[in-house]
Amino acid sequence: MARRDGWALWIGVAATLATLVVVFYYPVGRVFADAVAVDGQFSLAPVASVLGDPFYTGAAHTLVTDPGAVPSGIVRWLAAGAPPVEFGLFGFTAYQALLSTLVSVLVGLPGAYVLARFEFPGRRFLRSVTIIPFVLPSILVAVGFLAMFGRTGLFNDLLGIVGLGPVELTFTLEIVVLAHAFYNAPLVTRLVTAAWESVDADRVETARTLGASPARAFRDVILPQLLPALATAAVLTFVFTFMSFPIVLALGGLELATVEVWLFARVQSLDLTEAATLGAIETALSLGLLYVYLRYEARRTEPGGTSRGLSRRPLVDGVRSLVDPRRVAIFAYGVVALVLFAGPLVSLVIESVTTPAGQPTLDYYAFLLARQASTAAGTVRPFPAVVNSLLFGVGTLLVSIPMGVVVAVVATRGGRGSRAAEALLTAPLAVSGIVLGLGMLQALVFGTTLFGYRLTVTGPVAIVAAHAVAAYPFVSRSVTPALRSIDDRLGEAARSLGADRTRVLTDVELPLVAPALVAGAAFAFAISVGEFDSTVLLSTGVDSATMPVALERYVGDRSLGPNLGPATAMGTVLLAVTTVSFVLIDRVGGRWE
């Protein structure tokens, strides 16, 4: 029986690995191979060329000491209308990611404090919706920020009412950092709130009994228990913002190019060798950060115990609380958070039904219907894009859920090599969609020869594969902590009654973690519906275009002029589909709780 149990687990691992080899490791390996080869021969010349180019690693020193020695990369950057950044493309990418991480932590931490330490009507609902910004399509968020902070956006309209403005924030580092905070501050809030709620109240009370002040008790007892969750959130935020693509592309363009944006520009220019080299270096850096994340995540997700959590205080406690400085600061933070998180989405909807002059209109939705009826070549029609997104989402669920469960089981079984296996199976977290799309483009879409046959994977199959690779780590991240928190005695009792470990998993453990599994499925579906990075490279023609791709086409359609209306209308449709899909899956999961 033990042998059969072992074979069942290994079959699942083998199937997952086989899938990853075909649709992840081989394509990404192809990117690495192209980065260290010249004319089919091993060579570090491409890597040396990139690392030796001040455009990528630092331009100021070269320009100051030898103004005539301007590298070709800088010429391309200057041609795009932007001055070179003194610490190079990689340095600027890390710099904006660091700023985004700091702002995300500064915005997210007060929210975690409020949700963990205070009781108020709607607290549970607010805690639940903190994850919604994280699952919204990034290209949608970018359009929302354009609708809010653009020259004709809602923010400048409000400033005009009081005789101020306009303020130009588009194509600035500030708006890019704010958009990243929109995404990642809720992640900080959610992770730190969970850690704060699990702080042992008895240890805090013991410290206070021994004479520690509230500040000393926080520093010596509470803060050490929050640091692993805070470090996890910070590392994840840095990785996500380092590899950010649609937000930087839409809000910063080539003027604020990061590695991802420049890599995409190289692919469009068919400079695939340079693109592969950039992708390989970026992936190596992010893999190192993934290792740090896994270490802190393992420290954070310990088996659940019976310790008593900290009690929450009423947020509003009589008239005196209305003038309490701490609560006044909390209310001020609430206003800022409401503007940051609700403002772009509200602006998106409002701008989709108003003209630049502020008059109500449905012309932008009529434009979408006209595009739907158009037979012109190259036209991206809205309805097929919606259908494609939903179908690709379903396909992603069918692939990503079994893969995510297998990875979670490997992570919780322990034993020799389990940490290495988990890192190997979670590697897609550290690979951007652009790098994966580039690898699949070269290895699968362009085709590869195997045993004398030319094999190609194109269209929906390639897109679903890319989406599944991006989504299954989130399934495993949802299920792994839940599996670790299950009392081992339950499994031992089932084993004593004759059940093997596979039966324990299917009959005992998975039903207990069903809410976490459904939450992971909701993540996976939302990620698929909103995935843009790899899809924009893999969608051949207009027949396989998704809603995010259609949205990007409308943003960049010069025939529409400076009018953002059609893009906001398409963005509103995408927002509605994503929200309804996520809520439906989450409601289905609620039946298991």
Sign of the Cα torsion 146, 152, 153, 155 reads positive
Residue pair 303/484 in contact (Cβ under 8 Å)? The answer is: yes
- Both structure tokens of 327: 């609560």
CA gap 206, 317 in Å, rounded: 27
The pTM score is: 0.81
Please give the DSSP secondary-structure letter assigned to residue 307.
Answer: P
Backbone CA torsion sign across 221, 130, 533, 53: negative
* Interior angle at CA 309, CA 183 and CA 237, nearest 5: 20
Beta bridge partners of 42: 37
Q: pLDDT by residue (tens digit) across 399-448?
A: 999 898 888 887 776 555 556 666 677 778 778 888 898 888 888 887 77
DSSP per residue, 143-202:
HHHHHHHSTTSHHHHHHHHTT------TTSHHHHHHHHHHHHHHHHHHHHHHHHHTS-HH
Q: Is 277 helix (H, G, I), strand (E, B) or coil?
A: helix
**CB-side exposure of 270: number of CA atoms within 13 Å?**
0
List the Cα angle 290/296/299 in 5-degree steps. Answer: 145
Instruction: Tell me how many degrees the CA angle 88-89-92 measures, rounded to the nearest 5.
Output: 85
At 526 the pLDDT is 85
Q: Distance between CA 393 and CA 387 in Å, rounded?
A: 10
pLDDT tens string for the chain (593 positions)?
Answer: 444 555 666 777 788 888 888 889 889 888 888 888 887 788 888 888 888 888 888 754 444 444 444 444 444 444 444 434 467 888 889 899 999 999 999 999 999 988 888 888 888 778 777 777 777 888 899 999 988 988 778 888 888 888 887 788 888 889 999 999 998 999 899 888 888 887 777 777 777 787 777 778 778 778 888 888 888 888 889 988 998 888 998 888 777 888 888 888 888 888 888 888 888 888 888 877 767 666 655 555 444 445 566 677 777 766 565 667 777 888 888 888 888 888 999 999 998 998 877 788 888 898 888 888 776 666 778 888 889 999 999 999 999 998 988 888 877 765 555 566 666 777 787 788 888 988 888 888 877 776 667 777 777 888 999 999 989 888 887 888 777 777 667 666 766 766 667 677 776 777 777 778 887 888 888 889 888 888 888 886 667 888 898 888 887 665 555 567 888 999 999 888 888 877 776 666 544 44
Evaluate whether 432 touches 245 at the Cβ level (below 8 Å).
yes
pLDDT at 560: 52
CA 546, 547, 548, 552 dihedral sign is: positive
pLDDT, residue 556, reads 64
Q: Would you give the distance in Å from CA 438 to the centre of its chain?
A: 19
Which structure tokens are listed for 386?
């919606």
Helix (H) or strand (E) holding 450: strand 448-450
SS3 119: strand
Angle between helices 547-555 and 514-530 (to 10 degrees): 40
User: Which are the contacts of 567, defined by CB distance < 8 A and separation ≥ 6?
Assistant: 143, 146, 551, 554, 555
CA quadruple 227, 229, 232, 235: dihedral sign: negative
Contact between residue 248 and residue 141 where contact means Cβ atoms under 8 Å apart: no
How far is residue 32 from each of residues 25, 46, 55, 242, 456, measured CA to CA in Å? 10, 11, 21, 19, 20
Angle subtended at Cα 293 by Cα 290 and Cα 294, rounded to the nearest 5 degrees: 90
8-state DSSP, 219? I
CB atoms within 10 A of CB 323: 8
* Residue 58: HSE in the Cβ half-sphere, 13 Å Cα cutoff: 5
Q: How far is CA 298 from the centre of its chain?
A: 20
What does the pLDDT read at residue 592? Answer: 42
